Chains A and B, each alone.
Chain A
Amino acid sequence: MDTRTKMYFDEMQEGMAIPSATYGPMDRYKYIPIAIILRDTNPLHLDRGYAHERGMPDVVQQGPLNETFLYRFLTDWLHRPWDLRKTKLRFAANVFPGDLLTCGGTVTRKYRENGEPRIDCQIWQQNQKGEKILTGEATFTLPEKTKG
């Protein structure tokens, strides 16, 4: 259950931080159902020996699962999950079992599009060492307090 205070469009300001959230530690046993969902059984995500042979310290978490937590950072906090309108993400580094993923964001623009209140923000995800995992932008809508 997300305990962050939900906010309204009226309260948002450019430069404001979106309350951060931390997820994890990441669990290697989740990589099996994700491999099944993606129909992708690349051993890099499932076989520690194979990953070691390729210079990795452990199996590599699937990129979409990294994204899952950055999405949740936004959609758990929004009033309704499908108030998300756009995302643009770049993959910067790998995630490994045991990692903690902290997600955050900053409001860059507050505006209306076709009458709908919209917020643009920069978003990021980093591990416990402060290494950026994902960076990007997102757009979402928020309800207006003044409209009840």
Chain B
Amino acid sequence: MTPDRKTIIGKVLREVQYRISEDDIKDYLPVAEEDHPAFATDAGAKAAGYARRVIPPSYAPYISIIGLLRAFDWKEDFYFDYATGTAMFGEQELEYLRPIHVGETLTVHSAVSDVYEKQGKRPFDVIQVKFIVSDEHGAPAIRGAQSYIIFK
């Protein structure tokens, strides 16, 4: 029997570091067709009013998704067998506190903020995780929330 997931409310998840590597951005820009000069070179970024080369805002969800998926273990933390069960992303909320630059190392701090049951065609649990993405100086750059839908 699956333990009551409400017991994980308040659980602090693992801190995860993520470096926005040149390789990831080199892979991402052509796929996303993000062609603003500020994403390509420091000169392009400066011309747009940024201190140095920035990532596209569209890459921000990737940072939170990559970070959060390493912050918890489906089975150990959420009592869910990912190999046999069905889970999907629910609502995602992001607030951008400043532009993010290529090469930055960010840390994702997260905790389970809520768990509740809902009834669709099948019953499911919604696990909401709140997070802050901070920079090398500990200052928040992004904050937000991500919910995961886990079918019972």
Among B76-103, those with CB < 8 Å from A are 88-96, 98-99
Quick check: A81 and B88 within 8 Å, CB to CB? no
Quick check: B69 and A40 within 8 Å, CB to CB? yes
Q: List the A side residues contacting B39 at CB < 8 Å.
A: 81
Quick check: A72 and B31 within 8 Å, CB to CB? no
Name the one of A37, A75, A90 contacting B62, with C-beta atoms under 8 angstroms.
Answer: A37
Q: List the A side residues contacting B58 at CB < 8 Å.
A: 67-68, 71-72, 75
Quick check: B28 and A33 within 8 Å, CB to CB? yes
Quick check: B92 and A88 within 8 Å, CB to CB? yes
Cβ proximity bits A79-103 to B, threshold 8 Å, 1 near / 0 not: 0111011111111000000000000
Quick check: A36 and B27 within 8 Å, CB to CB? yes
Quick check: A86 and B34 within 8 Å, CB to CB? no
Quick check: B62 and A64 within 8 Å, CB to CB? yes
Quick check: B56 and A37 within 8 Å, CB to CB? no
Quick check: B65 and A72 within 8 Å, CB to CB? no
> Is B50 in the interface zone, CB < 8 Å from A?
yes
- Nearest-neighbour CB distance to chain A for B25, whole angstroms, equals 9
> Is B57 in the interface zone, CB < 8 Å from A?
yes
- Nearest-neighbour CB distance to chain A for B71, whole angstroms, equals 13
Cβ proximity bits A50-76 to B, threshold 8 Å, 1 near / 0 not: 000000000000011101100110011
> Is B132 in the interface zone, CB < 8 Å from A?
no
Q: List the A side residues contacting B90 at CB < 8 Å.
A: 90-91
| A81 to B109 Cα, complex, angstroms | 25
| A30 to B93 Cα, complex, angstroms | 25
Q: List the A side residues contacting B123 at CB < 8 Å.
A: none
Name the one of A65, A80, A90 contacting B91, with C-beta atoms under 8 angstroms.
Answer: A90
> Is B33 in the interface zone, CB < 8 Å from A?
yes
Quick check: A38 and B99 within 8 Å, CB to CB? no
- Nearest-neighbour CB distance to chain B for A33, whole angstroms, equals 4
Among B34-67, those with CB < 8 Å from A are 34-36, 38-39, 48-50, 54, 56-58, 61-62, 65-66
Cβ proximity bits A13-49 to B, threshold 8 Å, 1 near / 0 not: 0000000000100000010011011111000000000
Q: Which residue of chain A lies nearest to B82 when distances are taken between CB atoms in the complex?
A: A42
> Is B32 in the interface zone, CB < 8 Å from A?
yes
Quick check: B66 and A39 within 8 Å, CB to CB? yes
- Nearest-neighbour CB distance to chain A for B97, whole angstroms, equals 9
- Nearest-neighbour CB distance to chain A for B33, whole angstroms, equals 7
Contacts A/B (CB < 8 Å), 11 sampled: A23-B33, A37-B28, A63-B89, A65-B31, A68-B32, A80-B48, A82-B50, A82-B99, A86-B93, A87-B94, A90-B91
